[in-house]
Amino acid sequence: MTLSTTGVVVVALVVATACYAIGGINPATLIGRARGIDVAQVGSGNPGATNLGRVAGKKWGVIVGVLDILKGVVPTFVVLRTMGTWVALVAGVACVLGHIYSPYLGGRGGKGVATSMGAILVILPWIALASFVVFLVTLPFVSRLGNASVVAATFLLVAGVVLAVRADNAVGVGTGAWLALLALIVLSRHRSNIATWMGRLSG
């Protein structure tokens, strides 16, 4: 049975709400509490994998990073297989926004890098892998994870724009715009890194 336009909108809203709630689950906070650490009060105060890794050890940072990726992978994959590409795009963005603006942390959250990567892995796996290579190649030269994330997100932004412009159908254009949107969200969460770089360049 084909859903009406109203039905599609209702389904998309339900999926967005559910994925936002899933994305809002914050592994860094939960694991930190289990280890007697209030991640919001230590290091940078950011409830994400990088900050927990700094204060609790790299192992825990990696575990949180993997869990954050899975928050993007699992809901997006399930929705893609059951409801199609358009609703999966909504699901991916909702997971990322839930991670960044967690309803369980009073609207606070991480920077969205890992969860975005998880969603992109489902929709555009080769572009996700290429951005990860860019991240790894860049990291030794910029020394900080946040700076390497900015470079990788910039790559994703360019890739999204190119995909949207060159696509020959609505799904391709929408997917490219979606990729660019996720990249812009991640870049917006790294404003301090970008400002530092711009300051160095202007100085």
Q: Which residues contact 107 (CB under 8 A, 6 or more apart)?
A: 101
37-41, 152-156, 185-189: least confidently modelled range: 37-41
d(CA 126, CA 73): 14
- The per-residue pLDDT for 192 is 78
- pTM strictly above 0.95: no
Mean pLDDT of 4-13: 80
- The per-residue pLDDT for 56 is 87
- Res 203 pLDDT > 90: no
**Per-residue pLDDT tens digits for 50-85:** 888 888 888 999 999 999 999 999 999 999 999 999
Match 């991240």 to its residue by tokens.
135
d(CA 25, CA 175): 26
Amino acid making up residue 189: R
